[in-house]
Homo-oligomer: A and B are copies of this chain.
């Protein structure tokens, strides 16, 4: 019973429904499952309990649990697999691996990609970085830069800031040893799951330094993508400023 912190439904809702604290049962269940994810009760890639188990645990019907899970699956936090169960989404999977990489080649898609880490150091958060990561100015952050190349032509220059408290042990050597997508590493090595991101996109002219790293002319147009990525509970855990060469690649987007 101590597992359940739901609004008491034994009393018919009546006026209680008008109170600010009211939310539908399935939303409360959704919140409880989210807490479980956040606590790490089920790790990325693992199955969560079956709908019937969760229904028993939370003392609601299977249908209510189902609606909660439906929404979490729609948000890409969970993945349903018929006949097998419901699994915690992970970046270690072909299907959703490049969910956050929107750059697409003009022609056929496959491209050999490689990453070169330029630097990685601990620093104190400037006022603006702190604001975007919900830190205080001067708090410890990790700052790194890298160049991503496709088919050996440098295409993306990324500058990344992370809260120091969450990524202890993230060093240049560690990064250089690591293979594969950064978000998969954050998840596996530091237990931080990126779940959602907001981007601000502009066209800018390449500075001298950027031009040299990307092997283009100074002043060439670059797509600037400033991203704040969030984990469970909408807590910001990464700030990334990317500069993309969009000669043979474009940023794809769908509007609904």
Contacts and interface: CB of A to CB of B under 8 A. Distances in A.
Contact of A223 (B104, B202, B254, B255): B202
B102 A246 contact: no
Interface residues of A, number: 33
B255 A196 contact: yes
A223 B252 contact: no
A222 B222 CA distance: 9
Interface string A91-111: 000000001101010000000
Interface in A61-87: 74-76
B203 A255 contact: no
A73 to B, nearest CB: 12
Contacts of A219: 219
A60 interface: no
A255 B102 contact: yes
Interface in A182-212: 196-205
A203 B200 contact: no
A75 B256 contact: yes
A251 B221 contact: no
A220 interface: yes
Interface string A222-246: 1110010000000000000000101
A165 interface: no
A253 interface: yes
A255 B99 contact: yes
A251 B74 CA distance: 24
Top 10 closest pairs, chain A to chain B, by CB: A202-B246, A203-B221, A203-B203, A221-B221, A201-B251, A200-B250, A197-B255, A203-B223, A199-B253, A205-B221
Contacts of A254: 196-199
Contacts of A252: 198-201
B220 A253 contact: no
Interface string A2-38: 0000000000000000000000000000000000000
B202 A250 contact: yes
7 contacts: A76-B256, A199-B252, A199-B253, A201-B250, A203-B204, A203-B222, A253-B253
Interface string A101-142: 010100000000000000000000000000000000000000
B221 A201 contact: no
Nearest to A201: B251
